[in-house]
Amino acid sequence: MKTQYLIIGAGLSGIVLAQQLAEQGKEVLIVEKRNHIGGNCYDYYDENGFLIHQYGPHIFHTDMKEVWQYIQRFSEFTNFQLRLKGFLDGQLLPIPFNFTTMYLAFPPYLAQQLEETLLTYYPYNSKISIGELREKAEQEQKKALSFLADYIFEKIFKQYTMKQRGISAEEINPEVMKRVPILISRDDRYFPHHQYQGMPAKWYTKMFEKMLDYPNIKLLLNMDYKIMINDIIYHQLFITSPIDEYFDYKYGKLEYRKTLFHLETHNVQSFQDNIVVNYPNDYEWTRITEMKKFYPQSLTYHIDRTVICKEFPGQWDIEAYPVESSENKKMLELYQADAQALKNVHFLGRLANYRYRDMDKTIKNVLDFIK
């Protein structure tokens, strides 16, 4: 079997890469181990007509116009704005933490004091992180800021991080702390500072199929590339699968925090008040998503049946988050050194780079690589 470009993995990175190469007239072969395309963004319709995100919810959001224009070539998008809630101290509160959360969580006099203190240091409608708030509290010696930073860290971040990633919050990479937002406003959207948001008007898998709809793209599913790679003649090889797997784990196996996505059908019209509810401190699951609420105009929305997805962290099913330990970092550096020494072999994507990325940054990474 011959091809110009061989791509291992039909997740988002592999699909964008194949589309870009095929558009240039290149001959592309994709080999995928799973029985479907789309990686963890894969969705499908079940026997009841519900659109199911098999590996948990994926909401497209970006502030990069280039990425938004690119992805709209292959699908229309709904005007969906995610509002996330967390089960905190027995009630559902908006997340990220914002002024609305503050007035629901604290007595009015305390919430007002905290709001006035925050507005002393930050402009209204700005976004900061837990890390920034902690640093400001130390610099200014403000008890109110320290109280708020500790509350958010303990109630929203600490236990959730331990459940989700399997390490203590103190051990986690400081860069992760910078990604946990606090909104200096009453805007309770989860991505208020991203101009472009939505869900594919039909479904992700349909969009991916359109991206791969080129006569010069061939796709092999249910296929382990290790078994057949010696039978393929190619000019360039692109790895979007795990980098340690490519090198036969010669330095060891990189760790991932895995997640079990457990689907349940309930004979009720609505299971919960919000589409996505996080459980930072209570119960063994990290969040519950009610699938049909992403598409309220669907024909199945008002029937007395619904599907939820509970996410259980641990050594279960899908490799979700890299474990950012010093041991894994050293191991990754060894694999990356070996990768750089290879000719005509390239490593792209979440698993190949051992780095968690949102969908828009994944697309931008590939587009920049092609350039």
User: Does residue 17 sit in the same domain as residue 143?
Assistant: no
pLDDT band at 84 (very low <50, low <70, confident <90, very high): very high
Pair 161, 30 in one domain: no
The predicted structure's pLDDT at residue 179: 63
Contact 2/210 with Cβ under 8 angstroms? no
Summarised one tens digit per residue, pLDDT across range 155-198 is 888 777 777 766 666 666 566 566 678 999 999 888 888 999 99
Q: Which amino acid is at 251?
A: Y
Residue 239 within any structural domain of the chain: yes
Q: Are 251 and 334 in contact (CB under 8 A)?
A: yes
pLDDT at 315: 57
Beta sheet of 276-278, edge-to-edge order: 91-95, 84-88, 276-278, 287-290, 306-314, 256-266, 318-322
Q: For the segment 39-74, what is each residue's pLDDT rounded down to a tens digit?
A: 999 999 988 888 999 988 999 999 999 999 999 999
112 or 1, which is more confident: 112
Q: Are residues 39 and 170 in the same domain?
A: no
Asked if residue 324 has pLDDT above 80, the reply is no
Predicted confidence at residue 123, as pLDDT, reads 95
Q: Residue 348's pLDDT band (boundaries 50, 70, 90)?
A: very high
- Give the pLDDT confidence score for residue 176 in this predicted structure: 59
Question: What is the end-to-end Cα distance of the chain in Å, rounded?
Answer: 28
Whole-angstrom CA distances from 150 to 46, 83, 98, 133, 279 are 43, 23, 15, 10, 18
In a domain, 182, yes or no: yes
Dist. CA 286–CA 53, nearest whole Å = 16
In a domain, 31, yes or no: yes
pTM score, two decimals?
0.88
Are 248 and 330 members of one domain?
Answer: yes
Whether 209 and 330 map to the same domain: the answer is yes
pLDDT interval class at 329 (50, 70, 90): very high
Same domain, 37 and 120: no
User: Is there a domain that residue 263 lies in?
Assistant: no
**Together in a domain, 57 and 205:** yes
Asked if residues 366 and 68 have their Cβ atoms less than 8 Å apart, the reply is no
Asked whether residue 294 is domain-assigned, the answer is: no
| pLDDT (tens digit per residue) in 105-152 | 999 999 999 999 999 999 999 989 888 888 888 888 888 888 998 888
Q: Could you say which of 187, 214, 236 is where a domain stops?
A: 187
- Tell me the pLDDT of the chain averaged across its residues: 90
Of the residues 133, 166, 187, the one at which a domain ends: 187
**Averaged pLDDT, 323-327:** 83
Phi, psi for 109 (deg, rounded to 5): -65, -40
Distance CA 165, CA 256 (A): 8
Report yes or no on 279 lying in a domain: no
Residue that has been written with the tokens 């964008």 in this structure: 16
Confidence (pLDDT) at 163: 76
Domain that holds residue 112: 98-187
Read off the pLDDT of each residue in 2-17 and give the average, rounded to a whole number.
95
Q: Which of 3, 14, 72 is nearest to 39 (CA)?
A: 14
Q: Considering its fold, how many domains does the chain have in total?
A: 2
- Quick one: 112 and 242 in the same domain? no
pLDDT band for position 216 (50/70/90)? very high
Q: Which two tokens stand for residue 71?
A: 């992805």
Question: 349 and 226 in one domain?
Answer: yes
Per-residue model confidence (pLDDT) at position 180: 73
Whether residues 41 and 136 fall in one domain: no
* pLDDT in the model for residue 149: 87
* CATH number of the domain within which 51 lies: 3.40.50.720
- pLDDT tens for residues 254-302? 988 878 889 999 999 999 999 999 999 889 899 999 999 988 878 788 8
Amino acid at 188: D
* Residue 264 within a domain: no
Q: Is residue 300 part of a domain?
A: no
Domain co-membership, 48 together with 111: no
Residue 318 has pLDDT above 80, yes or no: no
Domain boundary (187, 211, 237) is at 187
The CB density around residue 195, as the number of other CB atoms within 10 Å, is 11
Residues 179, 207, single domain; the answer is no
pLDDT band at 310 (very low <50, low <70, confident <90, very high): very high
